[in-house]
Amino acid sequence: MNQTDLGTVITIIGMVLVTILTRSFFFLSDKPWTLPAWAQRGLHYAPIAALAAVIIPEIVMSQGHLIATFKDARIYAALCGVGWFYWRSSLLGTIVAGMAVYLPLHVGLGW
Domain boundaries, the chain: 1-29, 43-111
* pLDDT band, residue 27 (cuts 50/70/90): confident
Mapped onto helix, strand or coil, the DSSP state of residue 22 is helix
Query: What's the rounded Cα separation, in Å, for the pair 51 and 89?
Result: 17
Given this model, what pLDDT does residue 82 score? Answer: 94
The torsion angles phi and psi of 51, rounded to 5 degrees, stand at -65, -45
For 73-86, how does the pLDDT look when each residue is reduced to its tens digit (9 = 90+)? 999 999 999 999 99
The stretch 34-47 carries a mean pLDDT of 90
Determine what percent of the chain is predicted with pLDDT higher than 90.
56
User: Which is more confident, 26 or 111?
Assistant: 111
Q: Is residue 33 scored above 70 in pLDDT? A: yes
Q: Is residue 98 predicted with pLDDT exceeding 90?
A: yes
Percent of the chain whose pLDDT exceeds 70:
97
Q: How far apart are CA 18 and CA 24, in angstroms?
A: 10
pLDDT attached to residue 80: 96
Torsion sign, CA atoms 50, 56, 59, 62: negative
The model's pTM is: 0.60
DSSP-assigned beta bridge partners for residue 62: 65
The continuous run of DSSP H or E covering 97 comes out as helix 91-103
